Amino acid sequence: MSRPAAITFKGNPMTLVGEEVQVGQAAPDFKLHAFGPQGLTAITVADLKGKPSILSVVPSLDTGVCQVQTKKFNESLGEMGDSINALTISLDLPFAQNRFCGAENITNIKQYSDYQERSFGNNWGMLIDELKLLARGTFVLDSEGKVVYAETCKEVTEEPNYDAALAALKSLL
């Protein structure tokens, strides 16, 4: 399934692959990868259960708006510590994600890549067909993995609604 003209990129209509995730539904599964001291490791939705989670989705950490989004969430999430799962998700390679987050001292949100299977992009309706990048958005899950907040930015170059996403997350604590 695809959704033509679901979003725009610099004003140009773009197609999103997959169904749009809705508030109230169970979080669709995914398999994301990170690079750490143990090498490449994977994470799935099941690994997030037990704590509220925020998923910050960006096209690429090599772009200005994605960097701003990641830095803003990193600053805002520090006070919540280990009481939440916080993920930045992109199609960047895990090595590039680590380089950016290390250089910018991003420590309150972990970076995960959908580069291997694109299961997040496809299952969450966030893969931009024309660009083969993820759309920009934010999702909040409760501790059981139910979606309580979902935002797909209509224009890829615009920042998400930080206040609404953070309020949804804080309401679960």
Number of other residues whose CB lies within 10 A of the CB of residue 114: 25
Count Cβ neighbours within 10 Å for each residue of 35-55 and write b for 16 or more, e otherwise: beeeeeeebebeebeebbbbb
Cβ atoms of 80 and 173 within 8 Å: the answer is yes
Q: Is 166 strand, coil or helix? A: helix
- Kindly list the distances between the CA atom of residue 11 and the CA atoms of 6, 8, 15, 39, 155, in Å, as whole numbers in the listed order: 12, 5, 13, 39, 7
11's tokens = 């004003």
For this structure, is 101 an active site residue? no
Catalytic residue among 66, 89, 140, 165: 66
- Kindly list the distances between the CA atom of residue 29 and the CA atoms of 23, 24, 123, 124, 161, in Å, as whole numbers in the listed order: 15, 15, 7, 8, 24
- Residue in the structure block whose two tokens are 């979902």: 150
Please give the positions annotated as active site.
66
